[in-house]
Amino acid sequence: MKITNKIIFGVGSNLGDRQKNLNIATEKLTNYLLLKNLKKSKVYKNPAMLPNNAPQSWNIEFFNIAISANIDLNKFSIEEILNIVKKIEAEIGRKSLERWSPREIDIDILMIDQLIYNKDNFINIPHVGLFERDFFYLTTQEIEPQMLESIKKLIRGSN
């Protein structure tokens, strides 16, 4: 019997054809990770998050969406999902640049069901910014409000 899990990705772009980049990322995530029952939020436009002393040229508006879908975690480990995400980012043109610099695509794993996962501070699920960043929270709230509320209760209970 197949067991699937619900996964939510945050996808953003502030370089190139931002809408096209979001569409390509959605298509590649779906195909590479064999996603089913896909839901996609509306595009949320927001200012770039910038570190102190960032060049003014980095201040480019982001387009962000959340995507939820069913994934078979028997076929993909969390590390494999992350590797595929990095591969997709590279295929769309993302270069390894300074943190928070402009980028063609940025894909984050926001949630996987009620999973709380931390590996060497390299990957945290749920994403550490899920409740602090509107572009994550509002887009996820739009497509998976019950899931978001459940993880919020779980996190509060574990503190």
Task: Specify which of 9-18, 44-53, 118-127 reaches the highest per-range mean pLDDT.
Answer: 9-18
> Whose CA is closest to 46, among 148, 133, 143?
133
Report the distance separating Cα 148 and Cα 52, nearest Å: 31
Q: Can you name the CATH fold of 5-158?
A: Alpha-Beta Plaits (3.30.70)
pLDDT value of residue 133: 94
Distances (CA, A) of 115 to 133, 146, 155: 20, 15, 10
108-151 confidence digits (pLDDT tens): 999 999 888 888 767 899 999 999 999 999 999 999 999 999 99
Q: Coil, strand or helix: which one is 30?
A: helix
Report pLDDT for 35: 98
Q: Which residues contact 131 (CB under 8 A, 6 or more apart)?
A: 137, 152
pLDDT at 158 exceeding the cut of 90: no
